[in-house]
Amino acid sequence: MTTVVFIHGTGVREPRFGALLARAAEGLAATAPHARVVPYYWGQEYGAVLAARGASIPEPQAATSRGPDDVDETDPWALLYEDPGAELALAAAGAGTTVTAPGAEFPDERPRRLLRRLDDIAPELGRGLPLRAAELARSPLLAPAAAAVGPDELARLLARALAAAVIGAALDADAPVLCTGDVRDAAVGRIAEALGATPEGAERGLLLRTVKRPLLRAGSRAAVRRRRALTEAVHPAAGDILRYLARGADVRRGLAGLIARQEPPVVLLGHSLGGIIALDTLVLEPQPSVELLVTVGSQAPFLYETGALPSLVHPQPLPPHVPDWLNLYDRRDLLGYIGAALFPGRVTDVATDSRQPFPVAHSAYWTDPAVYRAIAARLP
């Protein structure tokens, strides 16, 4: 009888581990009845914990004098970075019917003209202000927005939209340095004046005046206030990875001890970080009873290529004592990587398709019959 040691991934604790183990055992029983599943529940003993009960987490600031329905300025800016035209659309939605005297300029003509001539007067925001300004000058929202608000407010609204567009593009490009809110607001003031605003203190934008907190629950202030709850919710997953990479010897020692107590042949079946633990254990010390390594949705190839795998650094080859390696990945699983190109002749990559988006795809392997069929076909 083949012994399959099941090694779970990050953040898994009871009762989730029991349910996961039962599902994996059921799937293997249907395709490989000669296999016996043995769990390696490393999360209980070696997983990350907040040892001091979250003493490292900053407490939120004390309540301010803002009203209960007020919104922190960072929340509307977060929306603008995602959609720089959001405030312009809000203004346009409030437009009524306007009458322009014969021969007079339409309310949007001057701002369009100024936008097309706008120089890069705020390079500290990032590159591309003139290009974003030219795009904004062609916006169909500009005319109704100009009809709904005064020239001064429109200039400031356009300045905020431009700043958000430039900063948002820098975010998308993963820029290494981004400006502070003070620098941003000063740049908005200069842009607004160039677009015809009077040189006064910046007023609160439409989003800040009209959008209430329920719509902005995902904003940065809400996240800061919920930081302790968020940290406690996500720390097992993130903490498990960091703790393993920093102090993984005990986890590997525990797995080696479990392997030594099993009757051969032994197969190591590791999901996500479990696959990394299995590979490192096999690389660092020969395990003669292990005849097959199976990784599912694992980052081991990626860590190897980037130089972060504890046991092996690219371009070092897999040691001869490492057994055959079957690597299953779902193309929609952004945490699943391939290894055949890195270890020619030593790794067999098999693509699966759960038809689920990420991150669901990272856990959906265990309900995919194709996964169990692929494993069963390779079991000794």
Place of tokens 């633990």: 277
Q: How would residue 233 be classed by pLDDT, with cut points 50, 70 and 90?
A: very low
Q: What is the mean pLDDT of residues 92-106?
A: 57
103-143: per-residue pLDDT in tens?
A: 556 778 999 999 999 988 888 888 889 999 999 999 999 98
Whole-angstrom Cα distance, residue 236 to residue 68? 34
Ordered by start, the domain boundaries in the chain are 2-51+233-376, 74-211
Better-scored residue on pLDDT, 256 or 199: 256
pLDDT above 90 for 5 = yes
pLDDT above 80 for 203 = no
335-347: per-residue pLDDT in tens?
A: 999 999 999 999 9
Query: Based on the number of CB atoms within 10 Å of its own CB, is 99 exposed (0-12), middle (13-18) or buried (19 or more)?
Result: exposed
What pLDDT shows up at residue 236? 60
What pLDDT shows up at residue 172? 81
pLDDT above 70 for 209 = no
Q: What stretches of the chain show up as alpha helix (H) in DSSP?
A: 16-31, 42-46, 74-82, 86-93, 109-116, 129-137, 142-148, 151-172, 181-194, 206-210, 220-225, 227-246, 249-260, 273-284, 300-306, 360-363, 369-376
Q: How would residue 245 be classed by pLDDT, with cut points 50, 70 and 90?
A: very high
What pLDDT shows up at residue 67? 45
What pLDDT shows up at residue 219? 45
Q: How would residue 218 be classed by pLDDT, with cut points 50, 70 and 90?
A: very low
Residues in CB range of 71: below 8 A, 6 or more apart: 208, 211, 212, 213, 216, 219, 221
Q: What percent of the chain has pLDDT over 70?
A: 81
Q: Which CATH architecture has domain 2-51+233-376?
A: 3-Layer(aba) Sandwich (3.40)
Residue (of 173, 108, 111) closest to 143 by Cα position: 108
What pLDDT shows up at residue 37? 97
What pLDDT shows up at residue 73? 65
* Residue 266: its H or E element: strand 266-271
What pLDDT shows up at residue 216? 40
pLDDT above 80 for 62 = no
